[in-house]
Structure 1
Amino acid sequence: MKEIKAFIRKRKSEEVVDALEAIGIDRMTLIDVMGVGSTDPNQSQFSVRIAERYAEFAKLVLVCKKEEVSQIVEVIREKAHTGIKGDGMIYVSDVEQAIHIRTGRTGRDALLSGDEPRTS
């Protein structure tokens, strides 16, 4: 199993989520975050409180099967791309274990909803 974390422009998040749902990826977490780093000055805001320039981003997190990674990454990259500096980043990491709290399913089976048959 793999975890995909993508930091994307907030205004592109709906388009990314819709595209992921269109390929059957419907379980993800989307969180509002602030990014500090190299961005387009016209897309940044200034906050006196934190005395840094920041841009509003969305953090998208999902866990998937290894064989789904390439397609998911390409969908995110394509839909989040604007061509402007600061479009974001995608990270892919290994997931050692997953446990579904309600059903007790583990591993790849934990990625299934309660109504789907087990894969193993």
Structure 2
Amino acid sequence: MREVKAFIREKRANEVMQALRAEGFKSLTVSEAEGTGNYTKKSDSPSLRFPLAHSKMSKLEIVCKKEDVENIVQVIHEHGGKGEKGEGLIYVSEVLEIYKVRTGKLSKEDIEL
């Protein structure tokens, strides 16, 4: 199992989510994020909550089968950017275990996703 985590521009998030759903990836987490990096755009402004952050982003997280990673990354790439600097990053990590909150036990059926 893998986790795909993508930081993309807020204005692209809905399009990316719709494209992922159309490809059958319906279970994902979306949250607001702020970041900083080498890229700065004049229209970006410092965050009121985090003085060093300057880019408002959306963070998408999807846990999937190893063989689905390439497709998910491609969808995010196609719908998440327009070929400009500072559009975000995609990380892929290995998921070793999944536990059910309800029982606190290892979830074998979720590991086989």
Q: Which one has the largest radius of gyration? A: 1
- Percent identity of the aligned residues? 38
Secondary structure in structure 2 of the residue aligned to 1:21:
helix
What is the identity, as a one-letter code, of the residue corresponding to 2:41? P
- Structure 1's unaligned 5+ residue stretches are 112-118
How many matched pairs? Answer: 112
**Partner of 1:55 in structure 2?**
55
Equivalent in the alignment of 1:106: 107
CA distance in 2, matches of 1:22, 1:75: 10
Task: State the partner residue of 2:95.
Answer: 95
Contact 1:81–1:87 (CA under 8 A) maintained in structure 2:
yes
1:40 touches 1:85 (CA, 8 Å); kept in 2? no
Aligned residue for 1:46, secondary structure, equals: coil
SS in 2 for 1:42: coil
Normalised TM-score (structure 2): 0.84
The alignment's TM-score, normalised by the length of structure 1, stands at 0.80
Q: Whose relative contact order is higher, 1 or 2, with alpha carbons under 8 Å and at least 6 apart?
A: 2
Q: Is the 8 A contact 1:100 1:110 kept in 2?
A: no
Higher alpha-carbon deviation: 12-21 or 94-103: 94-103
After the TM superposition, which residues 1-120 of structure 1 pair with which residues of structure 2 at under 5 Å, given as runs? Answer: 1-47=1-47, 50-52=50-52, 54-101=54-101, 106-107=107-108, 109-110=109-110
The letter of the residue matching 1:3 is: E
Rate the CA distance shift 1:42–1:94 in 2: closer, same or farther, 3 A: same
Aligned pair in 2 of structure 1 residues 34, 98: CA closer, same or farther (>3 Å)?
same
Instruction: Give the gaps of 5 or more residues in structure 2.
Output: none
SS in 2 for 1:31: strand
Give me the whole-angstrom Cα distance separating, in 1, the residues matched to 2:82 and 2:12: 9
Which whole-Å deviations, capped at 9, do the CAs of 1:17-58 have from their partners, x for residues lacking one? 000000100011101011111224134113476443501000
